[in-house]
Chains A and B, each alone.
Chain A
């Protein structure tokens, strides 16, 4: 599974991570993802897909905007991988966080 065009085959689509909180005093929680061709549609899709609560605030960001800190893979992927420096992946040429998410 690649970051772009993953579910639709449309080249301009990308994954956006969705965060929300129910109350001003709450921290944001990562609640899921949507696939969209632009920010405008990512907003709409997120709001209409994750409508299980009366959110105080919701925000979306393209997955590419996140950089891995300790694991040598893009964030928000399922399954673990060794921390940077502890596995063979760390010896590869690609910097952490910018690789293709591992297949799960």
Chain B
């Protein structure tokens, strides 16, 4: 909390527009990313290398969908219609990362999402744990308990695959392809959404802080794959961040959105007739 002397926000009604608007934008980004990440995990329930890994993908998919549901339902108090958000938007209005737009074709690519992207989202969520916006505390703590296992899953698999040269090369390609999108997601240094939230004590730091925390988590393996450099506790990206074509509003590359199949699944199109609420 950056402004510990200030009172906390007990409900959304207490939030000034200058805070409510960016917080809504951040929650929508978290919700869409978790919804699509859940779909990517679900794609591997039957195709994972072992039965146990398939079960893990199933559990992680369910976790992500549950988390997305929590964030979508919170958005009701931010002036959004959760049912419309979940079931009626076109692809161009989704705020998920471009690396989740289509299914991934290999296990190393899924591990890149598991290790880099899932961790990026969790780092941003962790920065809400001590938020001045109190209603979010309980929700994010429970969510982060589940996310520990997602990180350990990715970490355990990557440790194992680092041992063989072929697997290592596949990881280098897969993590390399996801790297820039993850760095960008935290926002540029002067990001207005994260900046406003950080100034108001709603998130515990700005985009540079979030990016550094993410690099702390992924830096060791990333450095072994030439993506990061430095040393423990002080990792930096070995590649310059490429901001071209990045949309501040959608927190992703400007063009595109979930592909047709992903969109239908994200919205639950086939289940529409069963919708009760």
Contacts and interface: CB of A to CB of B under 8 A. Distances in A.
A48 B59 contact: yes
A37 B59 contact: no
A13 interface: yes
B67 to A, nearest CB: 15
Interface residues of B, number: 18
Contacts of B159: 38, 40
A48 B56 contact: yes
Contacts of B17: none
Interface residues of A, number: 19
Nearest to A33: B52
Given A13-B50, A45-B55, A49-B52, A37 B153 contact: no
Given A8-B49, A8-B50, A34-B52, A47 B149 contact: yes
Contacts of A10: 49-50
12 contacts: A7-B51, A10-B50, A35-B51, A38-B159, A40-B155, A41-B52, A41-B160, A44-B153, A47-B149, A48-B55, A49-B52, A49-B55
Interface pairs A-B: 10 shortest CB-CB: A40-B156, A41-B156, A48-B59, A45-B52, A44-B153, A8-B50, A37-B160, A44-B152, A48-B56, A49-B55
Interface of B: 49-53, 55-56, 58-60, 149, 152-153, 155-157, 159-160
